[in-house]
């Protein structure tokens, strides 16, 4: 996939896609000093609806605080930038929106406290990231970075090298996605997704303190599960529990709700997407496209 759009929001103004450029000495290019968000916009036939925009903007500012940089715009200005970029490109289809703030000073110093920070908002058409019919996953040898080593609760560019290595290993072994364990051997995440396990009609997901990303989609699923009468619990999950689960699924802005039908060559449950997974996936789809009145406040109409 090679994303493309007509316009990008870059440091306060809308510019043409091909004009949104940085210098090769940009600090973030060398040291991964960027923070970003992934946001979905859904076309429902009448309008483009941005899902949980305010929550994504808020998390971006929290990531900046953790990294120790200041985004040179207010939350409301970032929010407006996302909407303006979406409107400028005039898409009538599902899109992915990527706000990214990065240390842009041309220097090799590691002290970022007084360095310049730039902000861009990128948008492009985006369909399914992973197959909704189910994927095959591998538990890889790379471990999820621990929060005493890196601030994994923040979406910091450099931390995602961990995910790149994990996914590369899984793909090289013939699988669709990677599952990572933490230092204690518990399965905690996919390469870019939170994980849920169904055992005995009950839903389990690792707790936030277990060095996982505090996912907005994860939070969404926990809330929607309650509406569906599905009991959910946050607790560590072992490798054996993954293998013997009734159902496993991954969630994230890009992944949405993706069934995992095989792990390390072992079928999960029947080897097909399970009923609870599909029930949650259908409800999630209805929510993000504005078909559930209770959650209309999560949606920002663009046009």
SS3 146: coil
Between CA 183 and CA 220 the distance in angstroms is 27
Between CA 60 and CA 248 the distance in angstroms is 28
SS3 247: strand
Measured between alpha carbons, how far is residue 250 from residues 130, 170, 188 in Å? 10, 15, 11
Considering only CA atoms, which of 276, 269, 272 is closest in space to residue 229? Answer: 276
Measured between alpha carbons, how far is residue 99 from residues 1, 57, 84, 105, 229 in Å? 19, 9, 12, 18, 35
Between CA 8 and CA 121 the distance in angstroms is 6
Question: What's the gap between Cα 193 and its chain centre?
Answer: 6
Catalytic member of 6, 21, 62, 155:
155
φ/ψ of residue 94, rounded to 5? -65, 140
Compute the CA torsion angle 52, 285, 212, 134 (nearest 10 deg). Answer: -160
202 counts as catalytic: no
Between CA 57 and CA 77 the distance in angstroms is 10
Between CA 170 and CA 141 the distance in angstroms is 9
Q: Using alpha carbons only, what angle is made at residue 277 by residues 218 and 238, rounded to the nearest 5 degrees?
A: 65
Catalytic center residues: 155
């Amino acid at each position: 996939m090679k994303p493309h759009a007509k316009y990008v929001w870059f440091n306060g103004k809308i510019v043409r896609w091909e004009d949104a450029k940085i210098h090769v000495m940009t600090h973030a290019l060398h040291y991964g000093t960027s923070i970003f968000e992934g946001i979905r916009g859904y076309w429902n036939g009448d309008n483009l609806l941005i899902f949980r925009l305010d929550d994504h903007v808020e998390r971006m500012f929290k990531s900046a605080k953790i990294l120790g940089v200041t985004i040179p715009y207010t939350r409301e200005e970032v929010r407006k930038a996302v909407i303006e970029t979406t409107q400028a490109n005039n898409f009538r289809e599902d899109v992915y929106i990527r706000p990214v703030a990065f240390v842009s000073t041309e220097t090799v110093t590691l002290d970022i406290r007084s360095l310049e920070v730039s902000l861009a908002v990128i948008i492009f058409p985006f369909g399914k990231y992973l197959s909704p019919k189910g994927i095959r996953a591998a538990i890889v040898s790379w471990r999820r970075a621990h929060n005493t080593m890196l601030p994994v609760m923040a979406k910091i560019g450099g931390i995602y090298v961990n995910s790149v290595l994990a996914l590369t290993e899984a793909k090289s072994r013939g699988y669709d996605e990677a599952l990572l364990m933490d230092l204690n051997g518990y399965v905690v995440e996919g390469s870019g997704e939170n994980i849920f396990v169904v055992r005995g009609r009950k839903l389990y997901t690792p707790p936030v303190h277990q060095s996982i990303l505090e996912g907005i989609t994860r939070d969404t699923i926990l809330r929607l599960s309650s509406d569906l009468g599905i009991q959910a619990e946050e607790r560590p999950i072992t490798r054996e529990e993954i293998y013997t689960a009734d159902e496993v699924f991954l969630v994230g802005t890009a992944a949405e709700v993706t069934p995992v039908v095989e792990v390390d060559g072992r079928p999960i449950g029947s080897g097909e997407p399970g009923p609870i997974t599909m029930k949650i996936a259908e409800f999630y789809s209805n929510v993000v496209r504005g078909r559930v009145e209770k959650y209309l406040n999560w949606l920002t109409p663009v046009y």
